[in-house]
C-alpha cells in the first residue's frame, strides 16, 4: 500500500487556498454586497430640545433689593439727588440683565409732598425693553414707582414693588415674553387732586402715539406689595374706559399657583390708574394698610419677603400663561 503523505499535503494546500479566498472576499466585499452610497445613507434626526422653564422668583433677592433702596439710598423724592442715584442703580441692574434701557423725561412741578415742600425738576422714567423690541410691537407694561415721600425710606412704598419688578425682569430675561419694564418717576402727590399725582405714568401715557398705545395689551402696577397679610390684593381702577380683564387674569394666575388673594375695584392710587383712564387694560397688585405708611418707619422691618415672593409668583404665572409668545 502506498503510504505517501502527498495526497494529505494536496488536501491541506487546497484548504488553505479556499480559506484565503474566503477571507479575501470578506475584506473586499462582493458585487452583491457593496457599501451604500451617500445618497442611500440615512441620518438620524436630532432629538428636539425643550427650553428650560424660566427660574422661580427668589424672595431673598427681592429683600436684598428692598434693603438697597431703603437703607443704602434711603428717602428719594422724585426730584432729589437720591432719586437720581436710585434711577442709575435700576438702569444698571436692568442693563446687566440684557435689556435695552432708556429714560423718559418727566417734568414734576414744585409742590408739597405729604407736608414737605419739594422743588420742580426732572424725575425720569427708567424703561427697559427686550433687545430689538419696538414700542409698536404688542407688549405688556409692568411698572413700579421708584420715588418716595421726602421723609420715608420707602421699603414698602415702593422699594417692594421695584424689587419685585427687578426680580421678574431676571426671571423672564431669557424667555419669549413681550414685556416692557418701567420704573416710574414722581408718583407721589405734589398737591391735592388727581392732576398732581402719578406724574411719571401720566406723562408716559400722554406721550404714546396711536400705534404705541394700541400695542399695549395690558399694564400692571406693583405698588406696596411686601407687608404681611393673609392675601394678595389684586385691584382694578374701574374708570368708565377701563376693564377688569387684567385683574381677573391675575386672579386666575393666583388661583393656579395656590396663592391666597382678594380682588377689589375702584383703586385709583397708583400708576395703573393713568393707563386705566386712557382705556388701556390695567390692574394693580398690592395696598395692604400698615402702620409705617408714609413715615420714617417705612423700613425693611415692615416687609415680609414671603409676601413679596407670592406677588412675584402671581406675576410670573401671569406673564408665562397670558403674555408669553407661543
In the chain, domain spans = 59-323
Q: Are strands 179-184 and 139-145 parallel, antiparallel or unpaired?
A: parallel
The answer to whether the CB of 185 falls within 8 A of the CB of 123 is yes
Q: Which residue in 266, 221, 263, 269 sits closest to 239, CA to CA?
A: 266
Exposure on the CB side of residue 217, measured as CA atoms within 13 A:
12
As a whole number of Å, the end-to-end CA separation of the chain is 96
- Averaged pLDDT of the chain: 89
Rounded Cα gap, residues 278 and 237, in angstroms: 11
pLDDT digits (tens, 9 = 90+) for 271-315: 999 999 999 999 999 999 999 999 999 999 999 999 999 999 999
pLDDT digits (tens, 9 = 90+) for 88-111: 999 999 999 999 999 999 999 999
- Residue 13: pLDDT over 60: no
Q: How many CB atoms lie within 10 A of CB 127?
A: 22
pLDDT at 170: 98
pLDDT digits (tens, 9 = 90+) for 172-195: 999 999 999 999 999 999 999 999
Backbone angles phi, psi at 111, to 5 degrees: 175, -160
Instruction: Reduce the DSSP state of residue 282 to 3 states and report it.
Output: strand
CATH architecture, range 59-323? 3-Layer(aba) Sandwich (3.40)
pTM, 2 dp: 0.85
Amino acid at each position: 500500500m502506498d503510504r505517501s503523505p502527498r495526497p494529505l499535503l494536496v488536501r491541506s494546500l487546497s484548504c488553505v487556498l479556499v480559506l484565503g479566498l474566503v477571507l479575501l472576499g470578506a475584506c473586499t466585499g462582493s458585487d452583491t454586497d457593496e457599501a451604500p452610497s451617500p445618497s442611500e445613507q440615512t441620518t438620524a434626526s436630532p432629538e428636539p430640545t425643550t427650553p428650560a422653564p424660566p427660574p422661580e422668583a427668589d424672595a431673598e433677592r427681592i429683600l436684598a433689593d428692598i434693603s438697597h433702596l431703603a437703607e443704602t439710598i434711603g428717602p428719594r423724592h422724585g426730584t432729589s439727588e437720591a432719586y437720581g442715584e436710585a434711577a442709575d442703580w435700576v438702569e444698571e441692574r436692568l442693563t446687566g440683565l440684557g435689556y435695552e434701557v432708556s429714560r423718559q423725561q418727566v417734568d414734576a412741578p414744585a409742590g408739597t409732598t405729604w407736608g414737605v415742600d419739594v422743588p420742580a425738576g426732572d424725575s425720569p422714567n427708567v424703561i427697559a425693553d427686550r433687545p430689538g423690541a419696538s414700542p409698536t410691537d404688542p407688549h405688556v407694561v409692568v411698572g413700579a414707582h421708584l420715588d418716595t415721600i421726602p421723609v420715608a425710606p420707602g421699603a414698602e412704598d415702593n422699594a417692594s414693588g421695584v424689587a419685585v419688578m427687578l426680580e421678574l425682569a431676571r426671571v423672564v430675561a431669557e424667555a419669549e415674553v413681550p414685556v416692557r419694564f418701567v420704573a416710574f418717576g414722581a408718583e407721589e402727590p405734589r398737591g391735592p387732586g388727581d392732576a398732581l399725582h402719578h406724574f411719571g405714568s401720566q406723562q408716559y401715557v400722554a406721550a404714546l402715539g396711536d400705534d404705541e398705545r394700541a400695542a399695549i395689551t395690558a399694564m400692571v402696577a406693583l405698588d406696596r406689595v411686601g407687608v404681611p397679610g393673609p392675601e394678595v390684593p389684586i385691584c382694578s381702577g374701574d374708570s368708565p374706559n377701563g376693564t377688569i380683564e387684567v385683574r381677573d387674569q391675575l386672579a386666575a394666575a393666583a388661583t393656579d399657583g395656590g396663592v391666597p388673594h382678594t380682588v377689589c375695584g375702584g383703586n385709583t392710587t397708583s400708576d395703573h390708574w393713568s393707563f386705566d383712564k386712557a382705556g388701556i387694560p390695567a390692574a394693580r397688585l398690592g395696598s395692604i394698610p400698615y402702620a409705617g405708611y408714609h413715615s420714617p418707619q417705612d423700613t425693611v422691618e415692615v416687609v415680609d419677603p414671603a409676601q413679596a415672593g407670592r406677588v412675584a409668583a402671581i406675576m410670573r404665572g401671569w406673564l408665562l400663561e397670558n403674555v408669553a409668545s407661543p
